[in-house]
Amino acid sequence: ILNVEQSPQSLHVQEGDSTNFTCSFPSSNFYALHWYRWETAKSPEALFVMTLNGDEKKKGRISATLNTKEGYSYLYIKGSQPEDSATYLCAFAMNRDDKIIFGKGTRLHILP
C-alpha cells in the first residue's frame, strides 16, 4: 500500500516566525510531488509541482525542496502571516499514472 505521510499533523506558529513541515513518500517509481494550500471554506490551491531530485521552488514567502532518492519534501514558510493559516497537502504521483496519492495534511495555525 502506497502511503504519503505528512508531519506534523498540526502546528501553531507565532506571526512573524518561520516554519517548515515534511512530506514523506515512496522513493521508488517517483514521477511528481505536488503541494497544495487549502484554506477553510475555499478550494485547495496548487502551490508547487516538483519532478526533479534536488529541485527547489519558491512562491513569495513559501518555498519547497525535493529529495526523491530518500523520499521527502520540505515546505518552508518565511515570516508567517495570518493568511498563511491553512491545511497544506502534499500528493505523490507514481510513474506516469495519472492518479496522485494525498497525505492527510499539516494544519497550520498562525497566532497573532
Partner 1 sequence: DGGITQSPKYLFRKEGQNVTLSCEQNLNHDAMYWYRQDPGQGLRLIYYSQIVNDFQKGDIAEGYSVSREKKESFPLTVTSAQKNPTAFYLCASKKTGGVHGYTFGSGTRLTVV
Footprint of partner 1 (CB under 8 A): 4, 31-32, 34, 36, 42-46, 48-49, 51, 89, 91, 93, 98-105
Nearest distance from C-beta of residue 15 to partner 1, angstroms: 27
Nearer to partner 1, 13 or 32 (CB): 32
Nearer to partner 1, 8 or 79 (CB): 8
Closest-CA residue to 53 (of 37, 42, 65): 65
Q: How many CA atoms lie within 13 A of 13 on its CB side?
A: 26
* Residue 47: C-alpha distances to residues 52, 67, 69, 76 (Å): 16, 17, 22, 12
Nearest distance from C-beta of residue 77 to partner 1, angstroms: 19
Task: Indicate the SS3 state at residue 7.
Answer: strand
Nearer to partner 1, 2 or 111 (CB): 2
Nearer to partner 1, 42 or 112 (CB): 42
- Copy the grid coordinates of residue 83: 493568511
Nearest distance from C-beta of residue 46 to partner 1, angstroms: 3
Nearest distance from C-beta of residue 99 to partner 1, angstroms: 6
Contact 22, 11 (CB under 8 A): no
